[in-house]
């Protein structure tokens, strides 16, 4: 993202209007350059946004003019530095503004206290710079569980989502799902802007789920918790009957639990997905029905062998 997008997204003040607002921001990390202002630049992370709080500005203003000019020159000398942000609504020193203008380095202002500004910046950057991918499928919120439904084209993903929405659940995205890794082991899905709230049903065309079912039937984004893959029923395939073995699918750098549901006429996929969501929640609470059944079966077999 660019510095201009950062300014617009966080409503920041621009102190150097002639600076290059097209400079790129490539990392979510933020640096408070206290050591750089003290003269130690060996490991200075120049590629990060530089955040100056009350402590750094007080330290800078306490220097004489010559030393202040040298420190500011060193801080602004890195081409890869995207911008400098001053917190607490403070006004940057004139020496900093002059040097930054000379080098085209944007100096911005935030009205938040320094720790809060750092938190808001980190959250904003993590969301905007998060790795993302586009997956063909449907994302729905079922009982608070974000379920990504995948499968070949025409297998019934959108029809299943429509039935789930009619049953009181919420649609996030149909046909194309933008998935971002916003943190370690955390994936969030959302629709592309042009497809927001829309469902495509063969024979009916494009439907607006929010217009048909109300604002409570849609969501703008949802954390992914489970992947359900719809597969055409094949008689020569031995499908899992107990559910003891845990399947996973890898999206970006995160492994998600996965369930494969064979599809054939007469199966109520919406009900099956509802039960899958409730079963996933029970597993998260520590109860695994298939393992409990397996343990009870093993105990019964062992008891019968002991009796014999």
Q: What pTM did the predictor assign? A: 0.74
- Identify the CATH number of the domain in which residue 113 sits: 3.40.1390.20
pLDDT score of 294 more than 80: no
Handedness of CA 230, 172, 145, 186 (dihedral sign): positive
Range of the domain at 28: 3-128
Judgement on whether residues 180 and 215 belong to the same structural domain of the protein: yes
Average pLDDT in the chain: 91
Judgement on whether residues 272 and 185 belong to the same structural domain of the protein: yes
pLDDT score of 221 more than 90: yes
Provide the terminal-to-terminal Cα distance of the chain, rounded to the nearest Å: 73
In a domain, 235, yes or no: yes
Of 196, 193, 224, nearest to 210 by C-alpha is 196
- Identify the CATH number of the domain in which residue 190 sits: 3.40.50.300
Is 235 catalytic? The answer is: no
- Interval 92-102 mean pLDDT: 93
**The domain boundary residue, chosen from 85, 107, 128:** 128
In the set 241, 245, 264, 306, the catalytic residue is: 241
Is 241 catalytic? The answer is: yes
Judgement on whether residues 143 and 287 belong to the same structural domain of the protein: yes
Q: What are phi and psi of 239, to 5 degrees?
A: -85, 155
Q: Which residues pair with 179 in a beta bridge?
A: 133, 189
Q: How many Cα atoms within 13 Å fall on the side-chain side of residue 20?
A: 13
How many structural domains is the chain composed of?
2
Judgement on whether residues 112 and 183 belong to the same structural domain of the protein: no
In a domain, 302, yes or no: no
pLDDT score of 304 more than 80: no
In a domain, 301, yes or no: no
Is 44 catalytic? The answer is: no
Judgement on whether residues 191 and 212 belong to the same structural domain of the protein: yes
Rg (CA), the chain: 27
The whole-angstrom separation of Cα 171 and Cα 197 is: 7
Q: Is 59 helix (H, G, I), strand (E, B) or coil?
A: helix
In the set 24, 136, 166, 291, the catalytic residue is: 136
pLDDT band (50, 70, 90) for residue 307: low
pLDDT value of position 81: 95
Judgement on whether residues 43 and 190 belong to the same structural domain of the protein: no
In a domain, 205, yes or no: yes
pLDDT score of 260 more than 80: yes
**The domain boundary residue, chosen from 128, 153, 187:** 128
pLDDT score of 306 more than 70: no
In a domain, 300, yes or no: no
Judgement on whether residues 155 and 283 belong to the same structural domain of the protein: yes
**Pairing status of strand 49-52 against strand 84-86:** parallel
Q: Using one digit for the tens of pLDDT, what is the confidence trace for 172-202?
A: 999 999 999 988 889 999 999 999 999 999 8
Report the range of poorest mean pLDDT among 80-84, 142-146, 232-236, 301-305: 301-305
Judgement on whether residues 63 and 169 belong to the same structural domain of the protein: no
- The number of residues making up the chain comes to 308
The answer to whether 29 and 48 have CB atoms below 8 angstroms apart is yes
Judgement on whether residues 220 and 83 belong to the same structural domain of the protein: no
Judgement on whether residues 22 and 141 belong to the same structural domain of the protein: no
Q: What would the two tokens of residue 1 be?
A: 């993202």
In the set 170, 175, 197, 219, the catalytic residue is: 175
The whole-angstrom separation of Cα 200 and Cα 216 is: 19
- Interval 235-262 mean pLDDT: 85
pLDDT score of 33 more than 80: yes
**The domain boundary residue, chosen from 128, 151, 174:** 128
Judgement on whether residues 114 and 154 belong to the same structural domain of the protein: no
Judgement on whether residues 58 and 118 belong to the same structural domain of the protein: yes
Q: Using one digit for the tens of pLDDT, what is the confidence trace for 34-90?
A: 999 999 999 999 999 999 999 999 999 999 999 999 999 999 999 999 999 999 999
Is 157 catalytic? The answer is: yes
In the set 48, 157, 170, 280, the catalytic residue is: 157
Q: Report in angstroms the alpha-carbon separations of 78 from 83, 85, 295.
A: 10, 15, 64
Between 264 and 67, the higher pLDDT residue? 67
pLDDT value of position 308: 60
The whole-angstrom separation of Cα 257 and Cα 271 is: 19
């Amino acid at each position: 993202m660019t510095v201009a997008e950062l300014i617009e997204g966080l409503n920041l003040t621009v102190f150097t209007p002639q600076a290059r607002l097209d400079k790129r921001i490539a990392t979510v990390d933020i640096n408070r350059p206290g050591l750089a202002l003290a003269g130690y630049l060996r490991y200075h992370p120049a590629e990060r946004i530089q955040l100056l709080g009350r402590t750094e500005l007080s330290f800078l203003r306490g220097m004489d003019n010559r030393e202040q000019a040298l420190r500011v020159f060193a801080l602004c000398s890195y081409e890869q530095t995207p911008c400098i942000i001053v917190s607490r609504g403070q006004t940057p020193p004139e020496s900093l503004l002059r040097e930054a203008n000379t080098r085209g380095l944007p100096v911005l202002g935030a009205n938040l206290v320094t720790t809060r500004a750092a938190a808001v910046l980190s959250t904003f950057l993590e969301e905007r710079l998060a790795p993302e991918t586009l997956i063909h499928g449907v994302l729905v919120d079922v009982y608070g569980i974000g379920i990504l439904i995948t499968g070949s084209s025409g297998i019934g993903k959108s029809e299943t989502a429509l039935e789930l929405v009619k049953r009181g659940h919420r649609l996030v995205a149909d046909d194309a799902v933008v998935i971002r890794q916003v943190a370690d082991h955390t994936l969030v899905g959302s629709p592309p802007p042009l497809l927001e709230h829309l469902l495509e049903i063969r024979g009916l065309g494009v439907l607006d789920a929010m217009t048909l079912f109300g604002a409570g039937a849609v969501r703008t984004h949802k954390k992914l918790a489970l992947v359900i893959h719809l597969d055409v029923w094949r008689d020569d395939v031995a499908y899992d009957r107990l559910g003891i073995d845990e399947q996973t699918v890898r999206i970006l750098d995160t492994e998600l639990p996965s369930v494969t549901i064979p599809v054939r006429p007469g199966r109520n996929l919406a009900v099956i997905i509802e039960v899958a969501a409730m079963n996933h929640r029970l597993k998260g609470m520590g109860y695994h029905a298939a393992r409990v059944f397996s343990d009870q079966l093993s105990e019964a077999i062992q008891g019968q062998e002991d009796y014999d």
